């Protein structure tokens, strides 16, 4: 093969590889900066002993998707962990309702060092998707409308 043609082929492969790498990096940056879903912090409450923090958040995944309001628990010393690509905080999720935060009007009340009460008197019982009774050593009680 002609040395000039060999350099042209090699140069084409290098150029194509650089373009693919640039496309991949820009895609990662775009997906991180503009996630499909994103959580908005509505309220936070820390227990009296400063061991645990509960957070009420609202999520919407697209213009046509419903609002989801959820409660997450984490150690008080930890920051809220949001997924790099998802934009959602799924770790420690204990309660999920398919309503926006204003309609649900969720209130958090720590009744003890490891006891959380979640009050959601305006939640539609049919729209509650998840309600855990325990996360680690934290026990959770609910005041929800009867089904």
More confident residue, 31 or 58: 58
Instruction: Give the whole-angstrom CA distance, residue 124 versus residue 104.
Output: 8
Instruction: Give the whole-angstrom CA distance, residue 40 versus residue 94.
Output: 17
Do residues 118 and 97 make contact, with C-beta atoms less than 8 angstroms apart? no
Phi/psi for 132 (5° steps) reads: -90, 145
- What pLDDT score was predicted for residue 147? 56
Task: Give tens-digit pLDDT for 94-127.
Answer: 999 999 888 888 999 999 889 999 998 888 878 8
Average pLDDT of every residue of the chain: 88
């Amino acid at each position: 093969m002609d040395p000039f043609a060999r350099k042209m082929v090699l140069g084409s492969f290098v150029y194509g590889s650089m373009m693919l790498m640039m496309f991949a990096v820009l895609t990662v940056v775009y997906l991180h900066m503009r996630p499909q879903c994103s959580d908005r912090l509505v309220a936070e409450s820390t227990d009296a002993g400063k061991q645990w923090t509960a957070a009420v958040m609202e999520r919407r995944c697209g213009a046509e998707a419903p609002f989801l309001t959820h409660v997450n628990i984490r150690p008080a010393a930890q920051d809220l962990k949001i997924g790099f690509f998802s934009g959602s905080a799924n770790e420690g999720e204990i309660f999920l309702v398919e309503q926006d935060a204003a309609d649900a009007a969720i209130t958090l009340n720590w009744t003890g060092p490891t006891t959380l009460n979640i009050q959601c008197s305006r939640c539609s019982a049919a729209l509650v998707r998840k309600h855990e009774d325990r996360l680690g050593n934290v026990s959770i009680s609910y005041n929800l409308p009867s089904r």
